Structure 1
Amino acid sequence: MQSKKSGSKPGQRVIKKYPNRRLYDTETSTYITLTDIKKLVMQSAPFVVLDAKSGDDLTRSILLQVILEEEAGGAPMFTEQVLASIIRFYGQTMQSYMGPYLEKNIQAMTEVQAQLADKSEGLTPEMWSRFMTLQSPMLKGLMGNYVEQSKNVFLQMQDQMQKNTEQVLGAFGLKRP
Protein backbone atom coordinates (compact mmCIF):
# COMPACT_ATOMS: atom_id res chain seq x y z
CA MET A 1 0.00 0.00 0.00
CA GLN A 2 1.00 3.54 -0.58
CA SER A 3 1.88 5.50 2.52
CA LYS A 4 2.12 8.93 0.95
CA LYS A 5 0.16 11.60 2.77
CA SER A 6 -2.11 13.49 0.46
CA GLY A 7 -4.96 15.91 0.68
CA SER A 8 -7.66 16.20 -1.88
CA LYS A 9 -7.51 18.68 -4.73
CA PRO A 10 -10.36 21.10 -5.41
CA GLY A 11 -13.19 19.37 -7.28
CA GLN A 12 -11.82 15.96 -6.36
CA ARG A 13 -14.14 13.50 -4.69
CA VAL A 14 -12.82 12.14 -1.39
CA ILE A 15 -13.36 8.49 -0.54
CA LYS A 16 -12.35 7.45 2.97
CA LYS A 17 -11.26 3.90 3.69
CA TYR A 18 -11.98 2.70 7.19
CA PRO A 19 -10.19 -0.09 9.10
CA ASN A 20 -13.19 -2.38 8.54
CA ARG A 21 -12.29 -2.19 4.81
CA ARG A 22 -15.37 -0.12 3.99
CA LEU A 23 -15.17 2.81 1.61
CA TYR A 24 -17.11 5.98 2.44
CA ASP A 25 -17.90 8.55 -0.25
CA THR A 26 -17.84 11.93 1.47
CA GLU A 27 -19.67 13.58 -1.44
CA THR A 28 -22.75 11.33 -1.27
CA SER A 29 -22.39 10.46 2.44
CA THR A 30 -22.77 6.77 1.64
CA TYR A 31 -20.68 3.63 1.79
CA ILE A 32 -19.57 2.43 -1.63
CA THR A 33 -18.00 -0.68 -3.14
CA LEU A 34 -15.17 -1.38 -5.55
CA THR A 35 -17.84 -1.56 -8.26
CA ASP A 36 -18.74 2.04 -7.45
CA ILE A 37 -15.06 2.98 -7.64
CA LYS A 38 -14.94 1.36 -11.09
CA LYS A 39 -17.94 3.48 -12.13
CA LEU A 40 -16.11 6.63 -11.00
CA VAL A 41 -13.11 5.58 -13.10
CA MET A 42 -15.32 4.86 -16.12
CA GLN A 43 -16.89 8.31 -15.74
CA SER A 44 -13.41 9.88 -15.49
CA ALA A 45 -14.49 11.41 -12.18
CA PRO A 46 -11.54 12.78 -10.22
CA PHE A 47 -11.26 11.13 -6.82
CA VAL A 48 -8.81 10.21 -4.12
CA VAL A 49 -9.02 7.41 -1.56
CA LEU A 50 -7.63 8.35 1.83
CA ASP A 51 -7.11 6.24 4.92
CA ALA A 52 -9.71 7.52 7.39
CA LYS A 53 -7.29 7.42 10.33
CA SER A 54 -3.90 8.39 8.93
CA GLY A 55 -4.87 10.37 5.84
CA ASP A 56 -2.51 8.25 3.71
CA ASP A 57 -3.32 8.21 -0.01
CA LEU A 58 -4.60 4.71 -0.85
CA THR A 59 -5.86 5.48 -4.37
CA ARG A 60 -3.33 3.28 -6.20
CA SER A 61 -3.99 0.38 -3.84
CA ILE A 62 -7.75 0.62 -4.38
CA LEU A 63 -7.33 0.87 -8.16
CA LEU A 64 -5.18 -2.26 -8.07
CA GLN A 65 -7.98 -3.98 -6.14
CA VAL A 66 -10.45 -2.96 -8.86
CA ILE A 67 -8.12 -4.45 -11.49
CA LEU A 68 -7.77 -7.63 -9.43
CA GLU A 69 -11.55 -7.92 -9.15
CA GLU A 70 -11.94 -7.38 -12.91
CA GLU A 71 -9.23 -9.92 -13.70
CA ALA A 72 -10.94 -12.52 -11.50
CA GLY A 73 -14.31 -11.77 -13.07
CA GLY A 74 -14.25 -14.07 -16.09
CA ALA A 75 -12.64 -12.23 -19.01
CA PRO A 76 -9.14 -11.27 -17.87
CA MET A 77 -7.19 -8.72 -19.87
CA PHE A 78 -3.76 -9.92 -18.77
CA THR A 79 -2.38 -13.38 -19.42
CA GLU A 80 -0.21 -15.07 -16.80
CA GLN A 81 2.77 -14.37 -19.06
CA VAL A 82 2.04 -10.63 -19.14
CA LEU A 83 1.58 -10.50 -15.37
CA ALA A 84 4.83 -12.42 -14.82
CA SER A 85 6.64 -10.05 -17.19
CA ILE A 86 5.34 -7.00 -15.32
CA ILE A 87 6.50 -8.51 -12.01
CA ARG A 88 9.96 -9.13 -13.50
CA PHE A 89 10.35 -5.42 -14.26
CA TYR A 90 10.18 -4.53 -10.56
CA GLY A 91 13.64 -3.89 -9.18
CA GLN A 92 15.21 -3.88 -12.64
CA THR A 93 16.78 -0.91 -14.40
CA MET A 94 13.85 -0.86 -16.85
CA GLN A 95 11.27 -0.33 -14.06
CA SER A 96 11.42 3.46 -14.32
CA TYR A 97 10.82 3.29 -18.09
CA MET A 98 8.06 0.71 -18.11
CA GLY A 99 5.38 2.81 -16.37
CA PRO A 100 5.66 5.78 -18.75
CA TYR A 101 5.94 3.41 -21.73
CA LEU A 102 2.73 1.59 -20.80
CA GLU A 103 0.98 4.86 -19.97
CA LYS A 104 1.84 6.41 -23.35
CA ASN A 105 0.77 3.26 -25.20
CA ILE A 106 -2.55 3.09 -23.35
CA GLN A 107 -3.11 6.79 -24.08
CA ALA A 108 -2.38 6.21 -27.79
CA MET A 109 -4.76 3.24 -27.85
CA THR A 110 -7.44 5.32 -26.09
CA GLU A 111 -7.04 8.00 -28.77
CA VAL A 112 -7.40 5.37 -31.52
CA GLN A 113 -10.53 4.03 -29.79
CA ALA A 114 -12.02 7.55 -29.54
CA GLN A 115 -11.30 8.22 -33.21
CA LEU A 116 -12.92 4.93 -34.19
CA ALA A 117 -15.96 5.75 -32.06
CA ASP A 118 -16.27 9.19 -33.71
CA LYS A 119 -16.00 7.70 -37.19
CA SER A 120 -18.46 4.88 -36.47
CA GLU A 121 -21.41 6.96 -35.22
CA GLY A 122 -24.53 6.16 -37.22
CA LEU A 123 -23.20 2.87 -38.56
CA THR A 124 -25.61 -0.03 -38.64
CA PRO A 125 -24.34 -3.50 -37.65
CA GLU A 126 -24.36 -4.46 -41.35
CA MET A 127 -22.34 -1.40 -42.31
CA TRP A 128 -19.90 -2.07 -39.46
CA SER A 129 -19.47 -5.68 -40.58
CA ARG A 130 -18.77 -4.57 -44.14
CA PHE A 131 -16.43 -1.87 -42.88
CA MET A 132 -14.42 -4.40 -40.88
CA THR A 133 -14.24 -6.98 -43.66
CA LEU A 134 -12.95 -4.41 -46.14
CA GLN A 135 -10.25 -3.35 -43.66
CA SER A 136 -10.72 0.24 -44.64
CA PRO A 137 -7.79 2.59 -45.14
CA MET A 138 -9.07 4.63 -42.17
CA LEU A 139 -8.64 1.65 -39.82
CA LYS A 140 -5.22 0.92 -41.24
CA GLY A 141 -4.34 4.59 -40.79
CA LEU A 142 -5.49 4.66 -37.18
CA MET A 143 -3.65 1.46 -36.32
CA GLY A 144 -0.64 2.71 -38.25
CA ASN A 145 -0.68 5.87 -36.13
CA TYR A 146 -0.84 3.76 -32.97
CA VAL A 147 2.03 1.56 -34.15
CA GLU A 148 4.04 4.65 -35.09
CA GLN A 149 3.40 6.28 -31.70
CA SER A 150 4.33 3.06 -29.93
CA LYS A 151 7.53 2.79 -31.97
CA ASN A 152 8.43 6.41 -31.15
CA VAL A 153 7.87 5.85 -27.43
CA PHE A 154 10.04 2.73 -27.57
CA LEU A 155 12.79 4.59 -29.46
CA GLN A 156 12.69 7.41 -26.89
CA MET A 157 12.95 4.86 -24.10
CA GLN A 158 15.85 3.12 -25.87
CA ASP A 159 17.64 6.45 -26.42
CA GLN A 160 17.21 7.37 -22.74
CA MET A 161 18.57 3.98 -21.68
CA GLN A 162 21.59 4.45 -23.92
CA LYS A 163 22.27 7.89 -22.39
CA ASN A 164 21.93 6.47 -18.88
CA THR A 165 24.29 3.61 -19.72
CA GLU A 166 26.87 6.06 -21.09
CA GLN A 167 26.58 8.15 -17.91
CA VAL A 168 27.08 5.11 -15.69
CA LEU A 169 30.03 3.89 -17.75
CA GLY A 170 31.46 7.42 -17.75
CA ALA A 171 31.25 7.53 -13.98
CA PHE A 172 33.52 4.49 -13.89
CA GLY A 173 35.88 5.99 -16.48
CA LEU A 174 34.72 3.59 -19.21
CA LYS A 175 33.64 4.43 -22.74
CA ARG A 176 31.39 2.43 -25.05
CA PRO A 177 33.27 0.91 -28.00
Structure 2
Amino acid sequence: MGAKRIAVISSSEFLSITKDRVAGYKEALKAHGIEANDDYIHYSFYSGMDFSEIEAIINKLFTLKQKPDAILTTSDKITTGVLKTLKRRGIKIPDDVALAGFSNTDIPELIDPPMTIVRQPSREMGEAAVNLLLQLIESKRPVKEFEKRMLSPELQVRASSMGKKKATRKTSK
Protein backbone atom coordinates (compact mmCIF):
# COMPACT_ATOMS: atom_id res chain seq x y z
CA MET A 1 0.00 0.00 0.00
CA GLY A 2 3.01 2.27 -0.41
CA ALA A 3 4.62 2.00 3.03
CA LYS A 4 8.43 2.02 2.98
CA ARG A 5 9.40 2.06 6.67
CA ILE A 6 7.72 -1.11 7.89
CA ALA A 7 8.38 -2.30 11.42
CA VAL A 8 7.74 -5.79 12.74
CA ILE A 9 7.05 -6.74 16.33
CA SER A 10 7.27 -10.46 16.96
CA SER A 11 7.51 -12.92 19.83
CA SER A 12 10.75 -14.14 21.36
CA GLU A 13 13.50 -14.40 18.76
CA PHE A 14 14.31 -17.89 20.06
CA LEU A 15 11.04 -19.41 18.77
CA SER A 16 11.09 -21.15 15.38
CA ILE A 17 7.76 -19.55 14.40
CA THR A 18 9.26 -16.12 15.10
CA LYS A 19 12.28 -16.91 12.95
CA ASP A 20 10.00 -18.01 10.10
CA ARG A 21 7.76 -14.95 10.33
CA VAL A 22 10.63 -12.46 10.53
CA ALA A 23 12.33 -14.23 7.61
CA GLY A 24 9.08 -13.87 5.65
CA TYR A 25 8.92 -10.19 6.57
CA LYS A 26 12.47 -9.68 5.29
CA GLU A 27 11.75 -11.62 2.08
CA ALA A 28 8.65 -9.52 1.42
CA LEU A 29 10.61 -6.30 1.93
CA LYS A 30 13.31 -7.50 -0.45
CA ALA A 31 10.71 -8.52 -3.05
CA HIS A 32 9.43 -4.92 -2.98
CA GLY A 33 12.86 -3.32 -3.16
CA ILE A 34 12.97 -2.29 0.51
CA GLU A 35 16.08 -2.95 2.56
CA ALA A 36 15.44 -4.47 6.00
CA ASN A 37 16.40 -2.05 8.79
CA ASP A 38 17.29 -3.56 12.18
CA ASP A 39 15.84 -0.44 13.88
CA TYR A 40 12.40 -1.63 12.73
CA ILE A 41 12.72 -5.26 13.91
CA HIS A 42 11.67 -5.85 17.52
CA TYR A 43 11.05 -8.93 19.63
CA SER A 44 8.74 -9.31 22.59
CA PHE A 45 10.30 -11.83 24.93
CA TYR A 46 6.93 -12.24 26.68
CA SER A 47 4.98 -12.40 23.38
CA GLY A 48 2.87 -9.39 24.28
CA MET A 49 1.88 -10.68 27.72
CA ASP A 50 3.81 -7.84 29.37
CA PHE A 51 2.16 -4.63 28.16
CA SER A 52 5.03 -2.43 29.33
CA GLU A 53 7.36 -4.33 26.99
CA ILE A 54 5.16 -3.57 23.96
CA GLU A 55 4.75 0.02 25.10
CA ALA A 56 8.55 0.40 25.30
CA ILE A 57 8.94 -1.02 21.77
CA ILE A 58 6.36 1.41 20.33
CA ASN A 59 7.93 4.31 22.20
CA LYS A 60 11.33 3.37 20.78
CA LEU A 61 9.95 3.09 17.24
CA PHE A 62 8.25 6.48 17.43
CA THR A 63 11.33 8.27 18.74
CA LEU A 64 13.34 7.21 15.67
CA LYS A 65 14.26 9.98 13.24
CA GLN A 66 12.52 7.95 10.51
CA LYS A 67 9.36 6.74 12.25
CA PRO A 68 7.69 3.66 10.80
CA ASP A 69 4.81 4.24 8.42
CA ALA A 70 3.55 0.67 8.96
CA ILE A 71 3.74 -2.02 11.64
CA LEU A 72 3.34 -5.78 11.28
CA THR A 73 2.54 -7.70 14.46
CA THR A 74 2.86 -11.47 14.61
CA SER A 75 0.33 -12.39 17.31
CA ASP A 76 -3.03 -11.20 18.64
CA LYS A 77 -1.60 -10.34 22.06
CA ILE A 78 1.16 -8.20 20.55
CA THR A 79 -1.43 -6.52 18.31
CA THR A 80 -3.59 -5.68 21.33
CA GLY A 81 -0.65 -4.04 23.10
CA VAL A 82 0.30 -2.10 19.97
CA LEU A 83 -3.28 -0.86 19.49
CA LYS A 84 -3.50 0.22 23.13
CA THR A 85 -0.17 2.07 22.98
CA LEU A 86 -0.94 3.78 19.66
CA LYS A 87 -4.29 4.94 21.04
CA ARG A 88 -2.65 6.30 24.21
CA ARG A 89 -0.12 8.21 22.09
CA GLY A 90 -2.83 9.62 19.81
CA ILE A 91 -1.40 7.84 16.76
CA LYS A 92 -4.19 7.16 14.26
CA ILE A 93 -4.51 4.02 12.15
CA PRO A 94 -4.12 4.18 9.14
CA ASP A 95 -3.66 7.98 8.93
CA ASP A 96 -0.39 8.05 10.92
CA VAL A 97 0.70 4.41 10.66
CA ALA A 98 -0.68 1.36 8.85
CA LEU A 99 -1.17 -1.81 10.88
CA ALA A 100 -1.39 -5.50 9.96
CA GLY A 101 -1.09 -8.64 12.04
CA PHE A 102 -1.47 -12.40 12.28
CA SER A 103 -4.79 -13.65 13.60
CA ASN A 104 -7.21 -16.56 13.60
CA THR A 105 -10.10 -14.71 15.22
CA ASP A 106 -12.85 -12.45 13.90
CA ILE A 107 -11.86 -9.64 16.28
CA PRO A 108 -9.77 -7.75 13.66
CA GLU A 109 -13.01 -7.18 11.69
CA LEU A 110 -14.53 -5.45 14.73
CA ILE A 111 -11.63 -3.05 15.33
CA ASP A 112 -12.06 0.47 13.93
CA PRO A 113 -10.69 0.61 11.32
CA PRO A 114 -10.99 -3.09 10.45
CA MET A 115 -7.54 -4.63 10.60
CA THR A 116 -5.56 -6.29 7.82
CA ILE A 117 -4.52 -9.77 8.88
CA VAL A 118 -2.62 -12.81 7.81
CA ARG A 119 -5.15 -15.54 8.60
CA GLN A 120 -3.59 -18.89 9.28
CA PRO A 121 -5.43 -22.06 8.24
CA SER A 122 -5.95 -23.14 11.85
CA ARG A 123 -8.43 -25.92 11.12
CA GLU A 124 -6.14 -27.46 8.51
CA MET A 125 -3.17 -27.04 10.88
CA GLY A 126 -5.02 -28.93 13.60
CA GLU A 127 -6.09 -31.71 11.26
CA ALA A 128 -2.54 -32.12 9.91
CA ALA A 129 -1.11 -32.19 13.44
CA VAL A 130 -3.58 -34.85 14.60
CA ASN A 131 -2.95 -36.99 11.50
CA LEU A 132 0.82 -36.79 11.96
CA LEU A 133 0.47 -37.61 15.66
CA LEU A 134 -1.69 -40.65 14.87
CA GLN A 135 0.92 -41.83 12.37
CA LEU A 136 3.60 -41.54 15.07
CA ILE A 137 1.48 -43.43 17.60
CA GLU A 138 0.64 -46.21 15.13
CA SER A 139 4.19 -46.57 13.83
CA LYS A 140 5.76 -49.98 14.49
CA ARG A 141 9.32 -48.61 14.28
CA PRO A 142 11.00 -45.75 16.13
CA VAL A 143 10.53 -42.50 14.25
CA LYS A 144 13.83 -40.79 13.50
CA GLU A 145 12.74 -38.29 10.87
CA PHE A 146 9.89 -35.87 11.34
CA GLU A 147 7.80 -34.28 8.66
CA LYS A 148 7.47 -30.51 8.52
CA ARG A 149 4.45 -29.12 6.69
CA MET A 150 3.91 -25.54 5.68
CA LEU A 151 0.32 -24.49 5.04
CA SER A 152 -0.47 -21.33 3.11
CA PRO A 153 -1.96 -18.41 5.01
CA GLU A 154 -4.46 -15.96 3.53
CA LEU A 155 -3.90 -12.21 3.46
CA GLN A 156 -7.11 -10.32 4.26
CA VAL A 157 -6.58 -6.66 3.38
CA ARG A 158 -8.72 -4.20 5.31
CA ALA A 159 -8.69 -0.48 6.09
CA SER A 160 -5.96 -0.56 8.78
CA SER A 161 -3.23 -0.99 6.19
CA MET A 162 -4.47 1.55 3.68
CA GLY A 163 -3.48 5.18 3.48
CA LYS A 164 -5.94 7.81 4.71
CA LYS A 165 -7.54 8.46 1.31
CA LYS A 166 -7.66 4.78 0.35
CA ALA A 167 -9.21 3.77 3.69
CA THR A 168 -11.87 6.48 3.33
CA ARG A 169 -12.75 5.30 -0.18
CA LYS A 170 -12.82 1.64 0.83
CA THR A 171 -15.04 2.09 3.88
CA SER A 172 -17.44 4.51 2.16
CA LYS A 173 -18.63 1.92 -0.38
What TM-score comes out, normalization by structure 1 length? 0.28
Q: Which structure has the greater CA radius of gyration? A: 1
Whose helix proportion is higher, 1 or 2?
1
What TM-score comes out, normalization by structure 2 length? 0.28
